[in-house]
Amino acid sequence: MNRAEPSWTDPAWLPPEAFRPLGTRRTLIRGTGPVAGTVRGEVAEACARFGGEVVRGDGTGAAYDLLLEMGDGGLGEEDFTCARHGGTTTVTASGGRGLLYGLFHVVRLGEKAFAGPRPGEVHRPATAVRMLDHWDNVAVHPVMGQVERGYAGGSLFWREGRARGEPGRVRAYARLLAACGINAVCVNNVNVHATEAHLLTDRIGEVAAIAGALRPYGVRTHLSVTFAAPVVLGGLSTADPLEAAVRQWWARAVRGVYDAIPDFGGFVVKADSEGQPGPFTYGRSHADGTNMLAAALAPHGGTVHWRAFVYDHRQDWRDRTTDRARAAHDHFAPLDGEFADNAVLQVKHGPMDFQVREPVSPVLGALPRTRLAVEVQATQEYTGQQRHVCWLGPMWSEVLGFRPQGGAGPAVGELAGHLVAVSNAGDDPFWTGHPLAQANLYTFGRLAWRPDADPYRVLDEWIGLTFPSAPERLVTGLHAVLDGSWRTYEKYTAPLGVGFMVQPGHHYGPSVDGYEYSPWGTYHFADRDGIGVDRSAATGTGYAAQYAEPWAGVYESAATCPDELLLFFHHVPYGHVLRSGKTVVQHVYDAHFEGVEEVEEARRVWAGLADLVEPVRHTRVAELFEEQLRSAGEWRDQINSYFLRKSGVPDAHGRRIY
């Protein structure tokens, strides 16, 4: 890599050098359409840079090393086959997007794509929609800023109340996404404010311009809308989903959207949650609200993603019978089978809010007759905010591999037809703020394509594409820094699944009781005798019983509950002995000391890679490691001191606790 400065026109995991194996060959391309044209442009640029050739015409009688062709092979629009025989590597697809994904597959393989015979393999995505939700505000919000929970600068799409008008930047972003298999983007915040509401109607042209820049790489555009749009935009007195005038208003609005964006993907809706309007206002169900929008979208082939993040955020902290974790299941499980065919229930992977450790949401196993999307958070709201190294691939892989019915039942990755992540990208030159946070964006795309993929092999792909021809010392060093970083973060923050303990509002840094007496329902209930939330059916909130067996039984008892989730499901004494043989309070002390030590070691490893990483990139990460180490020490000291003072139990190793 020879760039002096980072540039959004040269994405990290697609530097020109990654295309050298392809760009030195003779390539024949057979295909028509806009996305096939993108493939042709990618290959032509690589050949111009490295001396290869795009064969002219239909290639009859010509010799070529790579054949990229569209044909009728019984494949889906995004599927492709890859084979090598007789000295030619052949990628076949029935559509432009499949051809594009096949091209990037060849880039990932590098020289291996052209070495020896390769039996034909069919590659097809396991999930139909692989989407990024951008929590971007058109106008800067006085509290949430330009991007809500954004840690990589401003929005890629919006600035100062209007579209940025930078199609080159958006196209470069689409290229980045297509290279890891992402095929959809929602371009605005799920909390739809007054300005964003108008994107649906009189400002749809701005959305259409963004869609035009995303389209060449097969990325479809989606839009977050407010449920109250007929009132806010249409002058109606009601947004009741069963009112004929409301349904007619939505039908007209949707026609206008498709007139502007014929390949529009659909709507994302947050309703009756955290102050957002919804069908509850009119005594209607979430199925009523969802199906109204689904009916408006259906004639055009659109989909509504209805978020299941619905709970009471005005709880009385003194009332232990109310449990925020129960809310999504309580609201949506009874509605199974009532949602339209083009409606998708978008479920956060855990029952709370993207914590560093949560159980998998029971909703994902409770609606067998409902289309589901799993929502994860690539932006690191509760995992270091892209100031800390925290590669989330292993966590997501655990979620996608969880089997709600246990045994041979289907995994979450098989139950979900769509996979969605809250985006971690912005207008920072490194795209994700922290250069190593790019690994999270890449890993999400690849796991969305194949949920059962080994995340560590996906990380190998990212390293290979980001640092082509990297020496083994760099590969080993990057694995040392990234592989265990999620568990390291867990160690020095919230222990044993208890969650939160963060500064209110911005959620960065420790505050053990920050939310303990708030209305948000995010409690740990630590007292002088113990810690944790009793969510058992026998004596607690009953949340554990929302799971099917065997999980309901596993979580019901502290004796069988996994240690890493113990405090999520049970209130236990500080002297409760874990499977490790440690008491809860000693685990808290040890984990927090270990977490800081592991950050120190990762910082040391990164420092030793300075001669192998371009200076501007190495310097950015090194500076962020200083902040991570400072923050980790703050977490260690505040959490350990809190529990020493609460429990009165000293550290068995006599280390300094304040």
Instruction: Give pLDDT, residue 116.
Output: 87
Tens-digit pLDDT profile for residues 212-227: 999 999 999 999 999 9
Instruction: Give pLDDT, residue 268.
Output: 98
Q: Using CA atoms, how far apart are residues 632 and 475, in angstroms rounded to an integer? A: 25
- Residue 409, pLDDT > 90, answer yes
Which of 16, 90, 6 has its CA nearest to residue 48? 16
Dihedral sign for Cα atoms in the order 367, 370, 373, 375: negative
- Residue 4, pLDDT > 50, answer no
Cβ atoms within 10 Å of 368's Cβ, excluding its own: 12
Instruction: Give pLDDT, residue 5.
Output: 52
As a CATH number, domain 129-453 is 3.20.20.80
Tens-digit pLDDT profile for residues 323-375: 999 999 999 999 999 999 999 999 999 999 999 999 999 999 999 999 999 99
Instruction: Give pLDDT, residue 341.
Output: 98
Q: Using CA atoms, how far apart are residues 100 and 91, in angstroms rounded to an integer? A: 10
**What are the sequence ranges of the domains in the chain?**
16-123, 129-453
* Percent with pLDDT over 70 in the chain: 98
Tens-digit pLDDT profile for residues 269-314: 999 999 999 999 999 999 999 999 999 999 999 999 999 999 999 9
Where are any strands of DSSP class E within 525-571? 530-531
Instruction: Label residue 252 exposed, middle or buried (CB < 10 Å: 0-12, 13-18, 19+).
Output: exposed
With b for 16 or more beta-carbon neighbours within 10 A and e for fewer, the 556-577 pattern comes to bebeebebebbbbbbbbebebe
Which of 546, 572, 30 has its CA nearest to residue 557? 572
Which of 574, 424, 401, 560 has its CA nearest to residue 498? 574
Q: What average pLDDT does the segment 22-43 reach?
A: 96
Least confident of 71-75, 476-480, 495-499, 579-583: 71-75
Q: What average pLDDT does the segment 113-128 reach?
A: 94
Q: Alpha-carbon Rg of the chain, whole angstroms?
A: 25
In CATH, the architecture of 16-123 is 2-Layer Sandwich (3.30)
Q: Using CA atoms, how far apart are residues 88 and 78, in angstroms rounded to an integer? A: 22
Whether the CB-CB separation of 273 and 310 falls below 8 Å is answered with: yes
**Predicted confidence band at 3 (pLDDT cuts at 50, 70, 90)?**
very low
Whether the CB-CB separation of 463 and 480 falls below 8 Å is answered with: no
**Predicted confidence band at 9 (pLDDT cuts at 50, 70, 90)?**
low
Instruction: Give pLDDT, residue 424.
Output: 98
Cβ atoms within 10 Å of 391's Cβ, excluding its own: 27
DSSP states of 355-421 = -SS-PPPGGGGT-TTS-EEEEEE-S-TTTTTTTS----HHHHHHHHH--TT-TTSPPHHHH-SEEEE
Q: Using CA atoms, how far apart are residues 506 and 503, in angstroms rounded to an integer? A: 6
**Predicted confidence band at 62 (pLDDT cuts at 50, 70, 90)?**
confident
Cβ atoms within 10 Å of 164's Cβ, excluding its own: 18
- Residue 1, pLDDT > 70, answer no
Q: What average pLDDT does the segment 410-435 reach?
A: 97
* Percent with pLDDT over 90 in the chain: 94
Structure tokens at 506: 């911005």
Q: What average pLDDT does the segment 128-136 reach?
A: 98
Between β-strands 418-422 and 129-133, what pairing exists: parallel, antiparallel or unpaired?
Answer: parallel
129-453 has the same fold as 16-123: no
Where are any strands of DSSP class E within 15-114? 26-30, 53-54, 66-70, 80-85, 88-93
**Predicted confidence band at 7 (pLDDT cuts at 50, 70, 90)?**
low
- Report the interhelical angle of 438-449 vs 393-401 (nearest 10°): 20
Which of 153, 190, 192 has its CA nearest to residue 173? 153
Instruction: Give pLDDT, residue 58.
Output: 78
Instruction: Label residue 531 exposed, middle or buried (CB < 10 Å: 0-12, 13-18, 19+).
Output: buried
At 458, give phi and psi (nearest 5°): -60, -40
Instruction: Give pLDDT, residue 2.
Output: 40
Cβ atoms within 10 Å of 652's Cβ, excluding its own: 12
Positions marked catalytic: 274, 353, 381
